[in-house]
Structure formats: structure tokens, C-alpha cells
Structure 1
Amino acid sequence: MDEPSVAPLLAGLQHLLDSFAEIGLGYLSLDRPAGTLSGGEAQRTKMIRHLGSSLTDVTYVFDEPTIGLHPHDIQRMNELLLQLRDKGNTVLVVEHKPEVIAIADHVVDLGPGAGTAGGTVCFEGTVAGLRGSDTTTGRHLDDRATLKESVRGANGTLQVRGASTHNLQDVNVDIPLGMLCVVTGVAGSGKSSLIHGSVAGRDGVVVIDQAAIRGSRRSNPATYTGLLEPIRKAFAKINGVKPALFSANSEGACPTCNGAGVIYTDLGVMATVESTCEECEGKRFQASVLEYTLGGRNIAEVLAMSVTEAEEFFGDGEAKTPAAHKILDRLADVGLGYLSLGQPLTTLSGGERQRLKLATQMGDKGDVYVLDEPTTGLHLADVAQLLGLLDRLVDAGKSVIVIEHHQAVMAHADWLIDLGPGAGHDGGRIIFEGTPADLVAARAGLTGEHLAEYVGAH
């Protein structure tokens, strides 16, 4: 349109639409319901709203803005973060991706470990200073996964024919079984549509996502993984009493707070107030139950342990409980060694929930595991541990399909399926199938270019 009377409005609209295109959301249709956007799309839509604002001297806080973004989209997002800063604002970003850390003017590194082993500032300063510092982040900042020398062979395929969910354009693909298969492509290219629309729901397919875990505020890692069962039995056996006493949801519960550890006071129009129960001091059990011990610890002390501590505790000595130790081993395997056994599930992050589900379902009968962005919220040092875990799953005879943008995971795959070439109606087609080495050699599409750069192929 070219109408002088509404020129300022047109200029504003043009700027807004340009921002959508710049941040890689040019494929969204304007009437699309907001509830159908992915997490990354929703977050970037919010960013655009602020980019257009004329406010300055505002502090913006972004919590992992790269979730769901392909390396190609991360570059564009970095430019937007810098634009926000250059308008005279303060931009705080909570992030693990080295590409985003690289553009920072000032870095604050927390650690040294996770959970109770963390909570201190290990480093403050420039990116170059972080590289030279001996912190976990500093040491891993330049980590680059290498392409595998040899990839596993497939022992069958999962056939998808005529997939047309959302933006998929009648896709036919054979997903190899018995190997680590990574599905990638720019944000909005149709990865989740392909896997959730055509693979999930088949027999033997276990989908492990980041959705909230169904359960009340009484649920915790010990109840969710089935760990509490062998622990209760061990306590009951050594003390000669019944197992139900050692459950805060059963006979052993503190009568005042019914085993919740807190008392909720409903103040009508105002928010409900939580206060620690004075009777049990938040321990959730009756005083008489806390007199029974196992290996010198009572049940409340055991539930306050971290996974790592408990793994040692139930590993040998008087408290040796193989059934509990096996579950704790799996939790440590997925990088949750710092979680305490009694921490309410409602306080876990998306990445933590996904890894908790993975640990729980690793003992299940599923043959094909589907993981949707398992590196979300993972530090560089933990990504290597996750890759080791995926390898062990495949070596145990499972097939693992991962939807992922992280180059370390792509490089480590046996087989890559790349969707694209663009997002929305520009995507929805398979543009590459093969080994990571073939993709790097061909530098096929945006994924090929970024992966080649990442592994340092010349």
C-alpha cells in the first residue's frame, strides 16, 4: 500500500514485519493461534514486541532463548540481542550455548557444581577471561564433538509414508532402527510434526518429552521413579515394622500437615500462604517414625540426600539395597546426581523433567526411544554425559531417535535426517538423509554448512 495519510502506521507495520522475517519467523501466518506456536517461536514473538518499543534503559532478562533454535537461527537471534543492547538497554541472558556466550560483554559463571555443590560465583569478566579461567564452563567452552570414525549399521527401518501433518509435504522416509538417528532442521521445518505425527503412538515407541509430570506437590523423584518402594522395605525390614510407616502419604505422615511438610492457609481473595509445619518442622513424618534408622539415618534424612549421596549410601554397608541402587545409578547416568530425593516435582525445570522420565523409562520394555531436544538446559560439560547415555541405550539394543539442533549431538549421530530447506511452508521436505560425515562433505543446506564449520572441516 502507498497511502500518504497512513504513512506512519505503514512504517511501523513494515518495521514489525521486517523483525519477524529477521528473527526467522517469516513463515508464520498472521492468523495462527498463539497456542500452536512452539516454545522457541513463542519466545521470539515476545522478543519482537520489545524490539519495536521505543523504551530505553530497560533491563531485559532472557532465559535460554536458544531453546528450539537451529545454529542458523541463533546467529539471527544474537543480532537482535545486540540491537536491544545498542538501543541503550541492559540485556541479561541465562544461557549454555557457546555461540551466545561469545557475544557477551560481561560473563558471570555460577557453580562450581549443581544443587548443593553450586550457588557461588566462580568467575566474572570477559569471554576471553572465562576461556582462561579454570572453571567448568571455561574448560568446556571450546569443546567440539568430532564426527564418529565408524557409524553403526541399521537392523531394520521404521517406514513413514505420505506424512502430511501441519507443514509436511507428503513426506516418505525410512527411519533406521538399531542406531542413534538425529532429526534436525531449522526451527519450524517440521521435525516435531514428522516424529510426533507419524512415529509416536506406534507399538514399542516411548516418547520422552519435557511436558509437566502429572502428580501433586507431594510427588518427588523418589516417588516418581519407584525408588521409595525398596527404601521403605529396607527401613521396614531392619526395624521390624511395616513399610507404610515410611511413606509421608500413608501411615507415617505427620498428622498436623498430613505429610505435606507445609500448611497451606487460604486467605480468600489473596494468594494461598505456605508455612512450614511446626509439628514436624517440615520433615513430613511423625516423630516416632523418625526414631527408626537405616545405616544411621532416618527416613527424612535419606529423602534430603542428593542422588549422588544416596547412591553411595545404598551401595554398601548396612544400608546396601541393590534395587534402590540400580534406580539411583540411572538417575546419576542422566546427569541428575545433584537432585535431592524429596524435592517436589513441581520445582523441576523442563530439561530435568525429561531426564527424570528418561531414567524411569530406561528400564522399560520400549524398543524405540524418541527424545525431543534432550540438551535443553544442559551445560556443555553435561552434553558429553548425555551422548554417552544415548550410546549405552543403543548398545543395549534400543533404537534412539533424537530431535535436536545441538551440533555435538548431530556430529555424534549414526544417521541424520535434515528437514527444510526453510521453515513453515518453505519447509516440510526431507533435504538430506545419511551419515553426518556425508552431510559435512556435501555441506548440504544450512545444517550442513553449520555442522562443517562446527567440526572444523575445511
Structure 2
Amino acid sequence: MTFEPTTPADTHDTIEVRGARENNLDNVSVDIPKRRLSVFTGLSGSGKSSLVFGTIAAESQRLINETYTAFLQSFMPSTGRPDVDSLRNLSAAIIVDQERMGANSRSTVGTATDAHAMLRIVYSRVGTPRLEPSSLFSFNNAEGMCPECEGLGRTDQIDLEELYDRELSLNEGAITVPGYTVDSWYWQVFVHSGLLDADKRLDDYTDQEWNTFLYEPLTKVKVGKNSFSYEGLVPKIKRTYLAKDRDKMQPALRAFVERAVVTSTCPECAGTRLNAAARQVKVAGRTITECASMQIDDLVSFVRTIDDPAVKPLVDTLAHTLDSLVQVGLGYLSLDRESGTLSGGEAQRVKMVRHLGSSLSDITYVFDEPTVGLHPHDIERMNNLLLGLRDKGNTVLVVEHKPETIAIADHVVDLGPGAGPRGGTVTYTGDVAGLRASGTLTGRHLDHRIRLKDEVRTATGHLPIHGANTHNLRDVSVDVPLGVLTVVTGVAGSGKSSLIHGALPRHEGVVVVDQSAIRGSRRSNPATYTGLLDPIRTAFARANQVKASLFSANSEGACPECKGAGVIYTDLAMMAGVASTCEKCQGRRFKDEVLQYTLRGKDISQVLAMSVETAREFFTSGNARTILDRLHDVGLGYLGLGQPLTTLSGGERQRLKLAISMAKQGAVYVLDEPTTGLHLADVDRLLALLDRLVQDGNTVVVIEHHQAVMAHADHIIDLGPGAGHDGGRVVFEGSPERLVEQGQTLTARHLRAYLER
């Protein structure tokens, strides 16, 4: 039975927001119909996320948390009430965002969607030979995991020569591991244990001494009246260093681990993670490890051949889950694909699948640009899934820029008129037809189309790619033209990233500007990352005749209470830590005496609180203005100078990286979906920026699905024809005009439709 949206009959059919002031929201009041699909539009930084995620979803989740007992709440992050006068008629909110699914190597697509759990039960019930408990097929359970790799599918081997210098003694600093320098605590344990001669060169050690030095298990030793634990260097490093998340390590330690640890496929299970007994059980001629490694769209077909009545209901549910993964454009994945390797868009679609089969209704689902990473062909299927959630009686709130998804909305809330301080107001609410006629920036650009160029640029040379075989690529050879704008396209999973990221970075002069996380602490922000803070500190120092280091929150000027972080972090052990504003500096990060120094009436914390656009008016010349202009050019004018980098989206991180690399000449820039998070109006600015890079003598290669970028290209390389093993081939090379006129690919079909509208 299909749910038909109806006109709200009473106030309970509307989420009422009154006086929302979260972040840049300017006392926003708006009514959002329930059990409808509402799309929130506006420039990046206009306040969409602040309204949808920071206000509506945040308050819904806070109220749900308050229903738990005080004991349970003590283990939960403490979240404050959003800055809003009132919110009425909220329902339980489920946030389906683009946050990566974590780097836990025990989490896979199969475990994240419960598909692997269902497959395990099928094998435990009808497999041959019979292993009845389903836990025997789980690589996360001691009963089922491979004993060699403990269910990880790979083993870490330490390169011992990276741990020490054989020519030195312990007293001379033979241990070269970070944290083991002479006189350090770890060094003292080895030297004063009484188990080793601290003056003897390592090269002169006997076999017994080598074993004690490297592999001695944890043991108590007594020196005089004191006793302490001694452990060989290898198990100690495994326990204290290798068990940690590498992304959270200090740079020197991370560099050591990457240098000293060699990861290889487990020789016992060949990467399948399971023990020998589980690997031998078959259903319909296949093992569970073979099923887990199959492409999901192939696995669906196989699962449907299992016709044993003992598992029929389970097989039907499993097939439905796998079908859902295919529907959201993830049929090219496999169940054994690690969750941490998924892109933000892929992660969001995997999370979405969890909810498609849910029996819950009257839920509020909140999506953050669900079309990210999707080819226009896949956007059609995504739209159908959003409508399906609505038709089950749910309220669906979507933050989105793509006109294809805006077009299916029952209700649109447009924010603006600008970004940052110039945004934060509702400029339009109503249906899509009304948005088109509204005169807002979004309304004016909804039917805006980039036309094909009258004349494309001529290549000045080529970068050859020969015999590329990474992932699903099939011995691909292609010439990437130099001196022009090339767009590499194709459906998700067709091999675009494998081709470009797998081959081009090997060439000299290639600058890869992607959406990966920026390594750095939570103290890092656009000002520190771009080098903008240096001229700002210098300007403050000159104006006040004091040291520039006073104006660094990571140096002398830091608030002593929060050490310049602006917040106090509370570790909640198993759960995510909680950050609360530092009471001493009120989040300003600096000592009170530092804030007495001003530059043209502003203290350093007020300057760092400025947006890029505001700062451009404040710094009108010099290095600071040059850096600010680059940030403006890449569409980041709304970003705060002191905004933590950890709060940036993938698209924002990519544009920030582009801003700091723009000064290079004669480079080959490789960009990965740079339109992510960009409003339709900002796409024009991005195209102008790409043109400028090419005109300055650079080559630009863009992996992209947006038809506006395809239409503006000089050269297109289209991969396909499908995804996974149905892709991996170059199906078209040439100008956009020739693709439109002669192409028969999915990309050609959608680009033609775009230009005809």
C-alpha cells in the first residue's frame, strides 16, 4: 500500500521551528510538513545544516536520550539544547550522514548491513559439512576466526632492522624507536632490568640475549628494592603502538609505524579471515568466503538459487537487503569490503540500506547530500528510495544541491541569501514550482545549464597510462591530454578513481587534490593550515610591539586552562569524548593579557572568528589578502578562519587543499568530485577557477559526475559500461560535443538530456 502525501490537517502534521539561532541562523522560524519529502537548499554556509542537523535532528536526539535512566545517561555524551526558542511536533530522528564508517578493520559491508549475519545463519542451517552454530562462521568470534590473523585477513610483520642500530649499545642509543631515546622511561626499563648488558653492542649479542631483548614476554624484575615489568621490544611495540589508530598518532610515531610495519595477506586463510573448518562448508557448491568476495549484484543471483525451505524466509530477507544495495548503486561492492575503505557517499548509502527494510514508520530521516558520488543514472534510483521512505509514512529531510533531487521534493526550504554572516534566513518555502518563480539564487539557477564550448582547447602533449589493471580495470591504456580540462566520468564503481589515482600520481608534477581527511590535530583550522596565521600574527606583533608567538593558541598565548584548545575534552572511555567550552577563556583560546592587544580595534580571537569574506575586508593587502583571495576563489568565503578542520566536509577539505596549491605553475591537478557540497551558483565559479588554472599553463583532470562540468570540458574519458566487473573499460574518449552526438553510453544519454532541458 502506498502512502499518499496529504495536506496537513492540523498542527501535529507540521514540525514547527521558532527562533532558531544555531551558528549563523538569524532567528529562523519555519514550518516543515511531516510525512513529506522536504529538501533544504541554499549556498554552502547558508545555514542548511545548522537548521536540519544542528537544530531539528539534534533536539530530537537529545530528547530521546533524556528518556533513558540517569545511569545510562551518565555514559552518554552530554549535549546542550540547540539555540532555539521552541520546537514542536518532533518525531524520532535518524541521521544518515556522510561520516566515514570508521577504520575498524573488523567492520565490513556485510557486518554493517547484517547481510553477513544472515548469510552465516544460512550456512549454519543448510551447509555441508554441518557446523550448526552461526558463530562458527564469524571472523569476529574466536570460534570462527582464523587463528593466525585473528580474523583480520592480514598479518603485520615488523621489520626488525627499523627498531635498532646493531652497531650501538643500549647506552649509546641502539633503540631507534620514537620514545626510546637515552634517559627516556622505556629506555631505562631495558637498561636497568639487569637482563641485558647496556654497554654491549647489539651485534655482539648471543641468541639468548637477542631473544630477551626482542621477544621476552611480560615479566616482573626486581632491581634493588624496586620491581617493575620488563617486556621484549617486539611485543611492547605491538601492544603500545600497533594497537593504536594510526590517524591519531603523532607524525613522528606514525611515520615510524608506516616504515617499520609490513602488512601482508594472511598466509593461513589467504585473507578470508575464517578458520579452516568454516572455509570448507558449502551451500549450493559455494563456501561462505566465496560468497563474501562476490560482487553483490552477482551474490543476489546466487542467493536466490538456495531453495531449501528451512531457510526460505531468511534467504528472501537477505536477497531484499542485497537488492537494496544494488538499488543505491553499490552492486559493485562485496560483503567482505572493509567499511573504512568506503567513500563518504558510499558510507551514507550503506547506512541507508539499514533503514530501507525497517518496520518503523513516522520516523524523521535526515540525509546529507545523498547524491554525493552518484552518476546521474544512479541519482534516479536514489530518488526512488527517498520517495519510498516517505511513502512508508516517514518525514524525510534532505540537504541537497542537485536539481534532480530538488525536483522530486514535496516541500522546499531555501536559505540564504548568501553564506556565513550573509546567510541564515529563510528566503523561500513552498513547492518546487514556486521556487523556480521565487527569484532566489537557487530558484534562478534551478534550470541553469552550462552550454558546450564553441571550441575546445588543443592538447599540448599527453600523459600515457599503459596496461592499468588496478581493481576492476581491464588492461586499460589511455592518453591523458596536457594543457586542457579533462573530465573522467562513468557510473560509481566503473573504475574512474582506480584509473586516475592508480596511475597519474606516479608522474612528476602531479598534484592530487582529494577529499581525504587532512592530517592534523583538532587545533588545526583554515588559518593554520593555509599559513594565513603567520601574516596575521606578524601584523598583531608589529601593531603592539610584542612577540608574534603571543598570538598563537598553540604557543605562548594559549589559555592555561584549555591549553589553547578553547574547549575541555572529557574522555568517556568506550564512547565518544565530550567537548565543553572552556570557562576561563570562554572558548576564545587565548590568555586575557593577549586579548588586550588589538589590530584596528579587533583582538586576535575576534579576527579568528571572522569568515574568509569578512577577513578579506579587514586585510586588504599583503600575504594575508593573497591567501584569503584564494580561499574566496575556491568557494570557501563562508568558512571561519578558526573553524576546526575536523568540522569540514570532504568537498570543503578538497577546496581548501586546492587553495594552498594554486600557486604552482605547469602542474597536473587531479581533483576528485570538486562539485561536492557546491550550490548550483558556485559550480559556475568552480568552472571559472578550473579555466584559470588551465590558462595559467596547468593541466586539470577532474573525476566528476556533474553534467555542468562534463559540458564545460575540453576532453572526456568515459569508463564503463557498468560498475564492478561490468566496468573497467574506456567506453569513450573525445570532446563533449562528440559524446553528445555519437555516444551511446549512460553518460552520453544523461548529458544529452541535461543539454536539452
- TM tier, shorter chain? over 0.9
The answer to whether the 8 A contact 1:248-1:284 is kept is yes
The answer to whether the 8 A contact 2:465-2:479 is kept is yes
Determine the C-alpha separation between the residues in 2 that align with 1:32 and 1:374: 25
1:188 is aligned to 2:499:
no
**SS in structure 2 of the partner of residue 200 of structure 1:** helix
Alignment of 1:343-382 (within 5 A): 343-364=643-664, 367-382=667-682
The answer to whether the 8 A contact 2:474-2:729 is kept is yes
Determine the C-alpha separation between the residues in 1 that align with 2:580 and 2:378: 45
Q: What corresponds to 1:397 in structure 2?
A: 697
CA drift at 1:111: 2.0
Determine the C-alpha separation between the residues in 1 that align with 2:583 and 2:341: 45
Determine the C-alpha separation between the residues in 2 that align with 1:359 and 1:454: 30
Q: Match for 2:548: what amino acid?
A: P
Give me the CA root mean square deviation: 2.0
1:123 is aligned to 2:423:
no
CA drift at 1:327: 0.5
Q: What corresponds to 2:139 in structure 1?
A: none
The answer to whether the 8 A contact 1:204-1:365 is kept is no
CA drift at 1:443: 3.3
Q: What corresponds to 1:39 in structure 2?
A: 344
The answer to whether the 8 A contact 1:56-1:87 is kept is yes
Q: Match for 2:405: what amino acid?
A: V
Q: What corresponds to 2:32 in structure 1?
A: none
Determine the C-alpha separation between the residues in 2 that align with 1:455 and 1:235: 52
The answer to whether the 8 A contact 1:262-1:274 is kept is yes
Determine the C-alpha separation between the residues in 2 that align with 1:340 and 1:38: 26
Q: What corresponds to 1:427 in structure 2?
A: 727
Q: Deviations over 1:145-168 (max 9, x none)?
A: 111111111111110000000000
Determine the C-alpha separation between the residues in 2 that align with 1:256 and 1:50: 44
Determine the C-alpha separation between the residues in 2 that align with 1:49 and 1:268: 27
Instruction: Determine which of 588, 592, 617 is the counterpart of 1:287.
Output: 592
Determine the C-alpha separation between the residues in 2 that align with 1:16 and 1:269: 30
Determine the C-alpha separation between the residues in 2 that align with 1:277 and 1:19: 45
CA drift at 1:271: 5.9
CA drift at 1:35: 3.8
Determine the C-alpha separation between the residues in 2 that align with 1:282 and 1:5: 61
Q: What corresponds to 1:161 in structure 2?
A: 466
The answer to whether the 8 A contact 1:189-1:423 is kept is yes
CA drift at 1:32: 3.7
CA drift at 1:233: 1.5
Determine the C-alpha separation between the residues in 2 that align with 1:146 and 1:434: 17
**SS in structure 2 of the partner of residue 199 of structure 1:** helix
Distance 1:270 1:395, change over 3 A: closer
Pairs aligned (count): 452
Structure with max Cα Rg: 2
**SS in structure 1 of the partner of residue 453 of structure 2:** coil
Distance 1:9 1:225, change over 3 A: same
The answer to whether the 8 A contact 1:206-1:366 is kept is no
The answer to whether the 8 A contact 1:205-1:366 is kept is no
Determine the C-alpha separation between the residues in 2 that align with 1:140 and 1:413: 20
Q: What corresponds to 1:241 in structure 2?
A: 546
Pick 1 or 2: higher relative contact order, CA cutoff 8 A, min separation 6. 1
Q: Match for 1:185: what amino acid?
A: G
Determine the C-alpha separation between the residues in 1 that align with 2:747 and 2:521: 41
**SS in structure 1 of the partner of residue 722 of structure 2:** coil
More deviation, 386-395/336-345: 336-345
Q: Match for 1:425: what amino acid?
A: H
Q: What corresponds to 1:150 in structure 2?
A: 455
Instruction: Determine which of 379, 387, 412 is the counterpart of 2:687.
Output: 387
Q: Deviations over 1:264-291 (max 9, x none)?
A: 3456777644333333332222233223
Distance 1:249 1:170, change over 3 A: same
Q: Match for 1:308: what amino acid?
A: E
Q: Match for 1:406: what amino acid?
A: H
Q: What corresponds to 2:104 in structure 1?
A: none
CA drift at 1:79: 1.6
Q: Deviations over 1:384-419 (max 9, x none)?
A: 111111111111111110000000000011100000
Instruction: Determine which of 587, 609, 632 is the counterpart of 1:332.
Output: 632
Q: Match for 1:192: what amino acid?
A: S
Distance 1:304 1:440, change over 3 A: same
Determine the C-alpha separation between the residues in 2 that align with 1:260 and 1:10: 52
Determine the C-alpha separation between the residues in 1 that align with 2:386 and 2:716: 31
1:451 is aligned to 2:751:
yes
CA drift at 1:366: 6.5
CA drift at 1:36: 3.8
CA drift at 1:260: 2.0
Q: Deviations over 1:76-135 (max 9, x none)?
A: 111222222223222222111000011111111222222222222222111111111122
Determine the C-alpha separation between the residues in 1 that align with 2:463 and 2:687: 23
More deviation, 150-159/51-60: 51-60
More deviation, 142-151/264-273: 264-273
- Taking only the aligned residue pairs, the percentage that are identical comes to 72
**SS in structure 2 of the partner of residue 107 of structure 1:** strand
CA drift at 1:245: 1.6
Q: What corresponds to 1:318 in structure 2?
A: none
Determine the C-alpha separation between the residues in 2 that align with 1:256 and 1:49: 43
CA drift at 1:365: 5.5
Alignment of 1:103-114 (within 5 A): 103-114=408-419
Query: Structure 2 unaligned runs (5+)?
Result: 1-304
Q: Match for 1:347: what amino acid?
A: T
Q: Deviations over 1:243-266 (max 9, x none)?
A: 112212112222333222223345
The answer to whether the 8 A contact 1:156-1:177 is kept is yes
The answer to whether the 8 A contact 1:443-1:452 is kept is no
Determine the C-alpha separation between the residues in 1 that align with 2:709 and 2:651: 16
The answer to whether the 8 A contact 1:432-1:444 is kept is no
Determine the C-alpha separation between the residues in 1 that align with 2:615 and 2:663: 19
Q: Match for 1:391: what amino acid?
A: D
Q: Match for 1:49: what amino acid?
A: R
**SS in structure 2 of the partner of residue 252 of structure 1:** coil
**SS in structure 2 of the partner of residue 433 of structure 1:** strand
Determine the C-alpha separation between the residues in 2 that align with 1:39 and 1:291: 43
The answer to whether the 8 A contact 1:351-1:374 is kept is yes
Q: Deviations over 1:292-345 (max 9, x none)?
A: 222232222221211111112111xxxxx4111100110110111111211111
CA drift at 1:6: 4.0
